[in-house]
Structure 1
Amino acid sequence: MSNEAYVHAVLPGSPGGPLLFLFHGTGGDEHQLVPLARDLLPGATIISPRGDVSEMGAARFFRRTGEGVYDMDDLARATRKMAAFLRDRIEAEKPSAVLGLGYSNGANILASVLFAEPALFDATVLMHPLIPFEPNVRGSLADKAVLVTAGRHDPICPPNMTARLESYLRAEGADVTVEWHDGGHEIRPSEIDAARRFLDRSANKSKVDE
């Protein structure tokens, strides 16, 4: 599949350095998270696709039939398409580490790709994910580094769903860190700081392991 499968933004980084994929939230676009990502991991090559589904004009990565109710057939389609897009770009870039960061709907598609093809990523940041289905991991999450950030009063991603995701990831052997704040669905400075530390550590770990 062509790597033009998605409209996407590319910010070149240091040759042979880490590659950071970004996945925006509902209503965002390929530019939504780029300034944040550039601040979080300077020097990384950044690739940010735009969701190919429109929900009343708001871009998303897969369809849903209601708040928190996913069209599972379309999620499967989107997961296959996104995984192919990522593989193409990874092959072209040949990075030292492959990292992913997604927010809200972007965190959900990132998680779905992680379940489908764990080997694609060295580490992932899931900001306010909502996984209301039983994941089916095809491969191994053993020792995969995952940072989950969440709000204790998030009306879209309830804390019990975050706790369930954490338990599932740990049971699959993932190296999970959870960063909570006392707000809702918004991104707060504490989780940005946690993401910065996590991505820097993950990128440098890959260099040490080479």
Structure 2
Amino acid sequence: MHSFITSGSPLIFAFHGTGGDEHQFVTLVRDLWPGAGLVAPRGEVSEHGANRFFRRSGEGRYDMADLAVRTDRMVEFVRTHRTPGVPAYAFGYSNGANILASMSFAVPDLFDGIALLHPLIPFTPPEQAGLAGQRVLITAGRHDPICPRPLTDALAGYYRRQNADVTLHLHDGGHEIRAAEIDALRTAFKE
């Protein structure tokens, strides 16, 4: 886990993508939110040496039992690292976005806002009235071979049906993070 906290600033939780680690977004967080605290866990699952937050049997085929267990564990991890009275926001990329989305389905008020960069949710989440008013940014590439556009649209539609405050940002590329996404992320967590 990577962590630093500065008094009087928001706390940012950053969840890496497959093969990343707790250092993947340190510079990005410092650049986007100077003075903000950072908590960045490392996924506990190894897939052929690549860090992940939960198991899968292939692209888009999740071990749902493992996802449920690891979601609960990550929720508890976040709760132990929250500071009362300090706003907490979270973003995740790819596999990190997927575990973050799963946490939001289970405990919608865990964060003050979330950003899901290139999420892939290949299942229908349960209805969650607690998401009403929650700020959710979803970013994706229109030509992402890993996260197909119909699943991105379905996830945005899910959050909208729960009355979340959803922003969908698309770029013309694939699974890579582009500069315009970083700009959208920068403004997603403004008070």
TM-score range, shorter chain: over 0.9
- For the residue of structure 2 that corresponds to 1:165, the secondary structure is helix
1:147-162 matches, cutoff 5 A: 147-162=137-152
| Higher mean C-alpha displacement, 163-172 vs 35-44 | 35-44
8 Å Cα contact 1:29-1:59 kept in structure 2: yes
Partner of 2:126: 136
The answer to whether structure 1 residue 28 and structure 2 residue 40 are counterparts is no
Please, what TM-score do these two structures have when normalized by structure 2?
0.97
1:38 aligns with 2:25: no
Aligned with residue 189 of structure 1, among 174, 179, 190: 179
Shift of 1:197: 1.2
Q: How many residues align?
A: 191
Q: Distance in 2 between matches of 1:155 and 1:38?
A: 30
2:84 partner letter: K
Deviation track 1:74-116 (CA, whole Å, cap 9, x = no partner) reads: 00011000000001111xx224211001000000000000110
Structure richer in helix, relative to its length: 1
Q: Distance in 1 between matches of 2:129 and 2:47?
A: 32
Q: Which residue of 145, 148, 161 corresponds with 2:135?
A: 145
Residue aligning to 1:96:
86
Could you tell me which residue of structure 1 aligns to residue 72 of structure 2? 80
Cα offsets for 1:16-38 (capped at 9, x unmatched): 32111000000000000111111
* Contact kept in structure 1, 2:115 and 2:137, CA below 8 Å: yes
State the match for 2:117 in structure 1. 127
2-structure distance, mates of 1:57, 1:120: 30
Q: Which residue of 2 aligns with 1:5?
A: none
Deviates more, 1:22-31 or 1:134-143: 134-143
Provide structure 2 residue ranges, at least 5 long, that are not aligned to the other structure. Answer: none
Aligned partner (choices 9, 12, 15) of residue 17 of structure 1? 9
**Could you give the per-residue CA deviations for residues 188-210 of structure 1, whole angstroms, max 9, x where no partner exists?**
000001110112x2xx2xxxxxx
CA deviation after TM superposition for structure 1 residue 117, in Å: 0.3
Q: TM-score scaled to structure 1, two decimals?
A: 0.88
3-state SS of 1:178 partner? strand
- CA change 1:95–1:104 in 2 (3 A) is farther
Kept in 1, the 8 Å contact 2:120–2:151? The answer is: yes
Q: Return the alpha-carbon distance in structure 2 between the equivalents of residues 17 and 53 of structure 1.
A: 31
CA RMSD, 1 decimal: 1.0
